[in-house]
Amino acid sequence: MHHSNRSEIDSPRAWVMAGTAFVTCFVVFGVVYSFGAFFKPMAVQFGASRSNTSAVFSITASLYNLLGIAGGHLADRFGPRRVVIAGALAMGAGLIATSCIDRLWIGYVTYGLGVGIGVACTYVPMLAMVGGWFVRRRNTALGLAASGIGAGALAVAPLAAVLIQRYGWRTAYAILGVTSAVMLIGCGLTAEAAPVASARGHLHLSRAVRTPNFIMLYVASILSSIAIYMPFVFLPDFAHSHGASQVGAAALVGFIGAASIAGRLALGAIADRTGIIGLYKASMLLLGLSYGLWIFSHSYAVLVLFAITMGAAYGGMIALSPAVVAELFGVRGLGAMLGALYTGSSISALSGPPLAGFIIDRTGNYLWAAILGGATGIIGFLILVPLGAGLSLEAPLAESD
C-alpha cells in the first residue's frame, strides 16, 4: 500500500492530500460541532435535562477519541482510503438513524456509534497521512488540514440552525447524513498512503507512551479537552437564554470555528519558522485564560470576543498537536501515536459536558461551569511547562525523515 517514491514529499500531489484532509475535517467536525444547534430542540422534544442531552455529544466525542487509535493503526497498515470510506458510511447511517429516534437514549447509540466511528476512521488517518506527505512544510500542511475543523464549525453550525428552523431537527439530521456520507466517500477515494512508510509502529508506540513527554501531553490533553468541548455544547444555550436569537446563538460556534481557522493557519506557518513546542504551550494557556471573558460576559459582544479568543487558542492547539507529536517522536506510526494521545480526550468528553450540565442544572447558572473550563485549561498549561526539556533523551525514538 505504501509508496516508496520519496520525490513526492512536499510536492503538488502532497498539497492535494492536505486539501483532501481539509475537506474531511470540514465535514466530520462540521457535523460534530453543529450539535449545539440541535441541543435545545432535542431536549425539548424528549423532556430531557441538560446533563442527559449533552451526553449524546459526550458519548460521541468519547468514542471517536477512544477509537482513533484503531483508526490510526488501520490507516498505518492498510492506507487511509478504505478506512475513510468505512467512516463515511458509518457517519451517514448514524445521522439518518438519529433522525428517526423516539427516545433520547437511542440517540446515544445511533449518533454516538455512527458519528463516533465516522470521526475515528477519518480524522486521525487523514492527519497522519498529511504528516507523512511532508517534511519541510509539515507544520503548514497540518495547519491547513486541521483548519477544516474550524471551517466546518463556521459553516455547518449556522446552516444546521437554519435547517432546524425550516424543516425540524429530524430532517436536518437526515440532510446532514446524506451530504456528509457522499462528501466523505469522495475524500476517501482521493486519499493516498504517504510516501514515508510507517512500518515498525508497534514498538515505537509502546516505547513512546512511557516517556515523560508523552505522559505530560496525555494528562494536559485530558484537562484541556474539557475546556474545548464545553462551549460547543453549552455556549449557544447560554447565549439564547441571555437574549440572543436562535441563529445568533448558534453563530457563536461559527465564530469559534472562524477564529480557530486563523489560529491553525497562522500558528502552523509560524511554527515552520520558530519553536513549535513553546507555541503549543502558549495556545493552551490562552485557552484557559479566555474563559475569563465568558465568566464576566455582560453582552453578546463579549461572548463573541470569548468565542474568537477561545477559538484561536483551541485552533492553534489542534493544529500543533500532530506536529508536536511528530517533533518529539518522529512520523513512523504517527496514526497510532496520535490515536493513543487522543484516547485521553475520551475521558474528558465523557465526563466534562455532563459534569458541566449537572453543575448548571444544580446551580441554575453557568458561572461554576465556566470556572471549571478555565481552570482545566490553565492546569493543563502548568503540566506542560517542562515539555520538550528532555527532548535529547528521546532522540532515539525520532526517526529521521
Q: Is the residue at 371 inside a domain?
A: yes
Whether residue 4 is predicted with pLDDT greater than 60 in this model: the reply is: no
Kindly state the average pLDDT of the residues 280-285: 93
Which of these ranges, 13-22, 173-182, 245-254, 383-392, has the smallest mean pLDDT? Answer: 383-392
CATH number of the structural domain spanning residue 141? 1.20.1250.20
| Percent of the chain surpassing pLDDT 90 | 49
Whether residue 107 is predicted with pLDDT greater than 90 in this model: the reply is: yes
Which of these ranges, 211-220, 256-265, 291-300, 370-379, has the smallest mean pLDDT? Answer: 256-265
Termini Cα distance of the chain: 19
Q: Is the residue at 28 inside a domain?
A: yes
83 exposed, middle or buried (CB, 10 Å; 0-12, 13-18, 19+)? buried
Q: Is the residue at 111 inside a domain?
A: yes
pLDDT in tens, 49-104: 888 888 898 899 889 989 999 998 899 888 899 999 999 999 999 999 999 999 99
Whether residue 21 is predicted with pLDDT greater than 90 in this model: the reply is: yes
pLDDT of residue 268: 65
DSSP category for residue 387:
T
Distance between CA atoms of residues 138 and 131, nearest Å: 6
Residue whose cell numbers read 485549561: 377
Q: Is the residue at 301 inside a domain?
A: yes
pLDDT of residue 196: 61
Q: What is the mean pLDDT of the chain?
A: 87
Q: Is the residue at 126 inside a domain?
A: yes
Distance between CA atoms of residues 313 and 378, nearest Å: 12
Q: Is the residue at 1 inside a domain?
A: no
Segments forming the whole domain that contains residue 85: 6-397
391 exposed, middle or buried (CB, 10 Å; 0-12, 13-18, 19+)? middle
Q: How far is CA 22 from CA 71, 118, 257, 362, in A?
A: 18, 16, 13, 40
Kindly state the average pLDDT of the residues 226-253: 88
Kindly state the average pLDDT of the residues 257-279: 80
Q: Are 263 and 311 in contact (CB under 8 A)?
A: yes
pLDDT of residue 390: 54
pLDDT of residue 121: 96
Whether residue 113 is predicted with pLDDT greater than 90 in this model: the reply is: yes
- Angle formed by the axes of helices 212-241 and 50-78, nearest 10°: 140
φ/ψ region of 388 (left if φ > 0, alpha if ψ in -120 to 50, else beta) reads left
331-345 burial string, b = 16+ CB within 10 Å, else e?
bbbbbbbbbbbbbbb
Whether residue 216 is predicted with pLDDT greater than 80 in this model: the reply is: yes
Neighbours of 217 (CB within 10 A): 23
pLDDT of residue 393: 38
pLDDT in tens, 337-372: 888 998 988 888 888 888 998 999 899 888 999 999
What is the tally of structural domains in the chain? 1
